[in-house]
Amino acid sequence: MKIKKFLHGVLLVLGLSVVGLLFYYTLWLLTDEEFREMWQYGWPWTSGMVLVDYAACCLLTAVVTLYYWRSRERAEKERDKFRLQALENQLSPHFVFNNFSILADLIEVEPKRASEYLMNLSKVYRYTLSHLDHDTVTLQEELAFLDHYWALLEQRFGEGIKVRISPEVAKAEGSLPPAALQMLIENAIKHNEHTKAKPLVIDVSCDGRCISVSNHIQPIANAESTSVGQHNIKERYRLLTSQKVEIKKDADEYCVTIPLIK
């Protein structure tokens, strides 16, 4: 398999070098008047000179091609790493244990709600697994996924969490990394106090170009932040677009703004 891949690479370099050499000669012919005059009297180079030019083209093409392949492989490995991090968030023992504990309680007291909870839980996992190899999803797909995820949060936290999505979000068009909004909401819940007496309100808004997820800061005492989720979002966008993720924090509010990829 490696030999076959190597041979394909060699043939690609040789072919691209021929094209590059012809382009070089054509460009020279079009821009150099002295060369055009020489051309009128016949082929101006010896076969040795052509071979030297072709060898130079092959060397340059090989370097550029190798750099491109290495960069692509490195980017793919980084994409896979951050995709797996996102999957680990969904399949973490803590997340699984909490959801199945709630499901077990509901089965005993409210079978109908247990059935609805199981349906939403299955759709959350199905979305995560089926979109693992996707670089981006549409905003509408992400919002549909967020509805199922929110149903799980509502059952788990009750009135302790409120997610307010502005009407402008549903009207916007664009794409974003899979589970990006879910990760930002989960990050807010992880680092802020949320009780019925002091609910955590998470606002999701849109200006047509970007989506912002913000919340009032209600820090949990002695909680440590690893910034893994924040780093994951930044790196996934770095691999997809030149647009930047913006994070703003003051004494009262924490806000993460992610661009919509058109």
Say if residue 48's pLDDT is above 80: no
pTM: 0.66
| pLDDT bracket for residue 93 (50, 70, 90) | low
Do 13 and 138 sit in the same domain of this protein? Answer: no
**Under 8 Å CB-to-CB from 192, ≥6 apart: which residues?**
200, 215, 216, 217, 218, 219, 220
The bridge status of strand 253-259 relative to strand 246-249 is: antiparallel
Do 154 and 222 sit in the same domain of this protein? Answer: yes
Residue range 240-255: average pLDDT? 90
Say if residue 203's pLDDT is above 90: yes
Do 151 and 248 sit in the same domain of this protein? Answer: yes
138: left (phi over 0), alpha (psi -120 to 50) or beta: beta
Do 145 and 41 sit in the same domain of this protein? Answer: no
Say if residue 90's pLDDT is above 60: no
pLDDT digits (tens, 9 = 90+) for 173-201: 999 988 889 889 988 988 899 888 889 99
User: Residue 116: which CATH number?
Assistant: 3.30.565
Q: Across all residues in the chain, what is the average pLDDT?
A: 81
Answer for the pair 229, 187: CB distance below 8 angstroms, yes or no. yes
pLDDT digits (tens, 9 = 90+) for 128-166: 778 777 888 999 999 999 999 999 888 888 889 999 999
Answer for the pair 220, 194: CB distance below 8 angstroms, yes or no. no
pLDDT digits (tens, 9 = 90+) for 207-243: 989 999 999 998 887 656 656 667 778 878 887 888 8
Do 250 and 131 sit in the same domain of this protein? Answer: yes
Of 163, 190, 196, 162, nearest to 95 by C-alpha is 190
Nearest 10 degrees: Cα torsion 88, 73, 261, 87: -10
Range of the domain at 255: 92-259
Q: H helices then E strands: how many in the chain?
A: 9, 7
- From first CA to last CA, the distance across the chain in angstroms is 37
Token duo for residue 6: 């190597």
Do 13 and 124 sit in the same domain of this protein? Answer: no
